[in-house]
């Protein structure tokens, strides 16, 4: 079992407020499209501009297949187009833990 974590940092608090609704839509998209149980986490301490998407992966092959499906979907690109301008790309990190 693997744990996937994507941490994004919003540019401003106003972006964080707008971005949370889009992040919630992204979670719903992943659940509806590939059945992923994606969770959102906000920090209790440190910068309140951060957000983490966290999910459990059964295998890296399935993760790759799911990502291939997602990146080809125009609905995902629409969500990404709304979310991306709100975050600081230099402070976005992906991790996969075993």
Residues 23-53 have pLDDT tens digits of 999 999 999 999 999 999 999 999 999 999 9
Question: What residue ranges do the domains of the chain occupy?
Answer: 2-97
Phi, psi of 49, rounded to the nearest 5 degrees: -85, -5
Burial of 14 (0-12, 13-18, 19+ CB in 10 A): exposed
What is the CA angle 44-46-51, rounded to 5?
A: 70
pLDDT band (50, 70, 90) for residue 85: very high
pLDDT value of residue 98: 92
Handedness of CA 20, 21, 26, 32 (dihedral sign): positive
**pTM for this one?**
0.91
Q: Which CATH architecture does the domain made up of 2-97 adopt? A: 2-Layer Sandwich (3.30)
């Amino acid at each position: 079992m693997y744990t996937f974590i994507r941490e994004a940092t919003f540019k401003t608090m106003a972006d964080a407020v707008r971005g949370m609704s889009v992040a919630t839509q992204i979670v719903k998209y992943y659940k509806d499209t590939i059945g992923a149980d994606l969770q959102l986490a906000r920090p209790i301490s440190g910068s309140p501009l951060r957000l983490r998407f966290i999910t459990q992966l059964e295998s890296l092959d399935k993760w790759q297949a799911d990502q291939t499906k997602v990146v080809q979907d125009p609905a995902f690109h629409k969500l990404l187009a709304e979310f991306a301008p709100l975050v600081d790309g230099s402070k976005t990190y992906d991790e996969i833990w075993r």
